[in-house]
Structure 1
């Protein structure tokens, strides 16, 4: 017999993973369903190269219809790793804006509501100039109706921005676009925010609310961290098996103000554990 908690975990929780689009973008839908998920994230192309999405109308329609059939959503498109919105270099800025425009257009074609992007690195221009660069680069986009750009929190290594909640808030404030944010738990932890205890989760979420506003939190990348808090090292671990650990992950998944936020896993596939294992663990944490 299923309990009320089980029913809540099955119907209210939106959890999925970053799935491959190999063989067609619609395959990501089948893959996330097979993994036990009901939302997800994709790249529209290899994130390591400058390349425009190549998704025809028939493929897009199949993605939309398959998502609707299985009640999978929301989906998120993750932008290319090469995009650097903070850069002071005109050529890199131009390529970054062009890439982001292609991504938001692809999102509109797929009925995907969010395009996720890292702010990038200021590479010596300074924090304030980097934040200005990012905001003004985003302002160059013609974002279609129904699509929102999410600025993702970062681990904060080197001159990368996004490691402080204030960076996210500054870009949202300085840009004319209607932006929202994506919190990556591993990144935030690596940047110094404590998510390893119930108290730490409460304090971190309260700070995010105070600095950015939880109304802007539209997605969470739910990842544990292979490295200690404050190391600025970005390497993901299985849910509950890294330095954030089971207490922190359980507290985060059950935080009363985060219950409706979609959780997307970017966990590794290693030690015999896949996305399905991690999704099942998240469901277990919520059911508890």
Structure 2
């Protein structure tokens, strides 16, 4: 079974540069922003750039790619203005994904900011159902670290959005986020228990991507700060079980690990390959 592992790489100078940036760090799949994630901005991808990206991906990578939406998107918001901006941004991202032959657009649910959990999940499903998702593109809702009124920290939140939508959506689990939200991934037994709980609550058939990140903080702290693979509080035992768990071995792994201590994506991707035993 091919190990699909890569990183979130830059598109500076053109989205087609992401292909070379991915191969440079040893990845064979990966993730991009289509623009700065800190601003409201539509992707600006030319036809030649898109063709170069598609052909380079077909030539050099196994795939898949994932587009990560702007951090400003808040699907759970009760505020009409923010809802409309989030909807417009989501539409632009799924259209960009179709243009680039990228199968997944990953989004955080956001914060309900007083609407309550049920109201926030209703709001998120409503936005998703208003997106005209092109054929071949799937929206992935990402697990969250669970701080404040942000939703997605509990697997039940992810299942709740899936149940509420008429749109076929799937899920991306971030290992650091899940750990911060209270799912103990630091031991083989803990990983097995978490995978079984996810399957029971959400369903493994909905798991399309793993953001593979270690955590600088302990389980259940709701603190989202990523660490090098095997070097954080999840640690080597947990990471080794994640990358070798029989129900996860075919799920693409996208790293969002830090660049520090003389280590960057290349080191972390190689570490994942070393931990893979089968």
* Residue number in structure 2 paired with 1:239: 229
Question: What is the alpha-carbon distance in structure 1 between the residues aligned to residue 196 and residue 10 of structure 2?
Answer: 34
Tell me if the contact between 1:64 and 1:111 (Cα under 8 Å) persists in the aligned partners: yes
Determine if contact 1:29/1:72 at 8 Å carries over to the other structure.
Answer: no
* 1:88-135 CA-partner distances (Å, limit 9, x unpaired): 000000000000000000000000000000000000110000000000
1:223 paired residue number: 213
Distance 1:254 1:54 in 2: 39
Residue of structure 1 equivalent to 2:61: 71
Say which SS state the counterpart of residue 179 (structure 2) adopts.
helix
Query: Which residue of structure 1 aligns with residue 153 of structure 2?
Result: 163
**Within the alignment, does 1:200 sit opposite 2:190 as a pair?**
yes
Q: Which runs of 5+ in 1 are unaligned?
A: 1-7
Shift of 1:214: 0.3
1:99 maps to what in 2?
Answer: 89
Hey, what does 2:124 align to over in structure 1?
134
State how far apart, in whole Å, the 2-side matches of 1:82 and 1:176 are.
Answer: 24
Question: How far apart are residue 72 of structure 1 and its match?
Answer: 3.5
Whether 1:89 and 2:85 are equivalent positions in the alignment is no
TM (normalized to structure 2)? 0.99
C-alpha separation in 1, matches of 2:69 and 2:217: 25
- 1:110 and 2:84 correspond: no
Q: Deviation string for 1:236-271 (max 9, x for gaps)?
A: 000000000000000110000111000000000000
CA RMSD of aligned residues (A): 0.7
**Which structure 2 segments of 5+ residues have no match?**
none
**What TM-score do you get using the length of structure 1 for normalisation?**
0.96
**Contact 1:16 1:40 (8 Å CA) reproduced:** yes
- Give secondary structure in 2 for the equivalent of 1:287: coil
Runs of 4+ displaced beyond 2 Å: none
Distance 1:273 1:119 in 2: 31
2:4 maps to: 14
- Inter-partner Cα distance in structure 2 for 1:220 and 1:170: 20
- Corresponding pairs, count: 278
Hey, what's the Cα distance between the residues in 1 that align with 2:115 and 2:246?
A: 40
Please give the secondary structure, in 1, of the residue aligned with 2:276: helix
Cα distance, 1:287 vs. partner? 3.2
Q: Is the 8 A contact 1:14 1:39 kept in 2?
A: yes
